[in-house]
A and B are shown apart, each in its own frame.
Chain A
Amino acid sequence: MNLTLRRRLPHAVALLALIALLYPLLWLLVTSVKPADEVVTSVDLWPRHFEWSNYGTALDGVSGVSVPRLLGNSLLISLGAVVGNVASCSLAAYAFARLRFRMRGPMFAFTVATLMLPQHVVLIPQYIIFNKLGMTNTYWPLVLPKFLAVEAFFVFLIVQFMRNLPRDLEEAARIDGCGPFRSFFHIILPLSRPALITTAIFSFIWSWNDFFAQMIYLFSPDKATITLALRNFVDQSSTSAYGPMFAMSVISVLPIVLFFLVFQRYLVQGMATSGLKS
């Protein structure tokens, strides 16, 4: 008796914690299909009447820009961030992990130090520069920096991974006359797939969730992302529009949830390795 209790207790506690943790998500789903009067009067988790038209209202979008268009805008920025981060961070990481050059130590230390740099210190000058270049209200400020390996977290993550790859393969390739470029593309890059996938997924999700930079740089409704539109939707509507507002919220987190379900192994693994050996 005592033994089964001791074995079951952790499971029971974990299950309770899970329910508490998932409650806000459940609430979001349910509220997105509740009719306006029920949102205000009842906290039941099961709506008495399903108001699917909330999704119809939400899909109409904000300021005449439809939700598919807003999702497309978000997708464009996020995919840009994915391509940029994977390409530029893997190049830099390879140099830091496998090549020898002057100033390697200080340069890598600089990258690590920028992990601690608050974004706000560079934000205003970046804004001024992009403004001078006529690039505000375009996606360039949100995507271009990603092609310059400025997200130190990813450089760090890929360096960690590449350092642990066996050196034998490269040594063998070098003896066969294979230079660093072919080594990189044909040996290291394919072997680093798990780290690159982790980078891609985090890039996507962070870029998708981003709000601050998008709010600063994008101001016309047709350029807006789903996050910005959601915020404008809130401003325009009262509590009576809770249903459509949360229907739109569901739509906006759907890509993250899907990514999570498909790639959770990479995400959790990437998070775990980034914190260790540090």
Chain B
Amino acid sequence: MSVSQIDVTGPSARVADRAGRGRRTRRGREARWPAYVFLTPWMVGAVAVTLVPMAVSLYLSFTSYDMFSAPHWVGLRNYTEMLTDDPRFWRSVLTTLKYVVIAVPLKLALALGAALLLKRLSSRGRGFYRSAFYAPSLLGASMSIALVFRALFNDGGTVDRVLGTFGIHIGSWVGNPHLATYVVVLLTVWQFGAPMVIFLAGLQQISPELYEAAALDGAGPWRQFVSVTVPMLSPVVFFNLVLEMIQSFQVFTPAFVVSGGNGGPADSTLFYTLYLYERGFTASHMGYASAMAWLMLLAIAAVTAVMFKVSRSWVFYADEAE
């Protein structure tokens, strides 16, 4: 996976670095050890909090382990059981995929629409709405807001009553296996402010000259949007897409609250992380849960890799296009 694409070192920074290096070699080598002093906490963290636990969980994924007796090696059994003999596992995969595929595009579309809208406001109005639209992104992950959404979509909740006045009687969304996931989707979409802020910053970086040139060539607003805004914004769209996708796979708190903590009703909100938690911490099948975690990592890596691959055909990097 090409991490270099996310590397923040732009071409200009790289040139500056090279110039700096030239100057320094002329003046003699600078001591390198201070860097490692600054990096000590980071290195301890990388090893003890990330790398070693990763290795341990990979090992545990090939064992049966209940936290009380020593783990014992079972080879690929966790994986084969998961893939061939666990309908709840597949249920959780499908629920999560459905959620990601619906929530992420919806959230990003709304974010882009809002950014385009705010760009047309005066700078004072823009500042105000930018902050106001962003606020839900900070609150959305909290237990409180998850409880509010559950209550709003419950039997006799606001949504039920409002729909009722239009003659639509659905009752509780939270208790309905066909609709419960959408409460989590809506809670996610409600937080479109975070990607919107990134879109808006991206829009503001597009040089007005490009629009002027397009207008001179006789391009109307729609043509300008398609030929200037879309290609210039495509790296930001891609960044948001990858980021939101990775985050959505890991959604937990709203799923936990809406489902009442157990994936209900009828396992319809049994999100992947929820099932992982249940197998690992409620049922003490730590080996199985580790295998689930590694499968999730592989899935996210694979999806990200495919997205990077496909991105070459639609993402436009201005500084590479000369």
Contact = CB atoms under 8 A, between A and B. Distances in A.
B45 A120 contact: no
A13 B304 CA distance: 35
A98 to B, nearest CB: 9
B49 A24 contact: no
Interface residues of B, number: 104
Interface stretch (B4-12, B79-87, B207-215): B4-12
Contact of A122 (B57, B235, B236): B57
A17 B151 contact: no
Contact of B39 (A95, A230, A256): A95
B198 A119 contact: no
Contacts of A274: 198
B201 A149 contact: no
A216 B143 CA distance: 15
B240 A99 contact: no
B1 to A, nearest CB: 8
B138 A205 contact: yes
A276 B38 contact: no
Given A181-B37, A212-B252, A252-B142, 8 more contacts: A17-B133, A107-B39, A124-B53, A167-B16, A216-B281, A260-B138, A275-B240, A277-B10
Interface of A: 10-11, 13-14, 17-18, 21-22, 24-25, 27-28, 31, 40, 43, 87-88, 91-92, 94-95, 99-102, 104, 107-126, 128-129, 131, 145, 147-150, 155-156, 159-160, 163, 167, 179-181, 184, 205-206, 208-209, 211-212, 216, 227, 230-231, 234, 242, 245-246, 249-250, 252-253, 256-257, 260, 264-265, 267-268, 271-278
Interface of B: 1, 3-4, 6-8, 10, 13, 16, 20-21, 24, 30, 32, 34-42, 44-46, 48-50, 52-54, 56-57, 60, 67, 114, 117-118, 120-121, 125, 129-139, 141-145, 147-149, 151-152, 156, 158, 161-162, 190, 194-195, 197-198, 200-202, 205, 235-236, 239-240, 243, 246, 249-250, 252-253, 256-257, 273, 276-277, 280-281, 286, 289-290, 292-294, 296-297, 300-301, 304
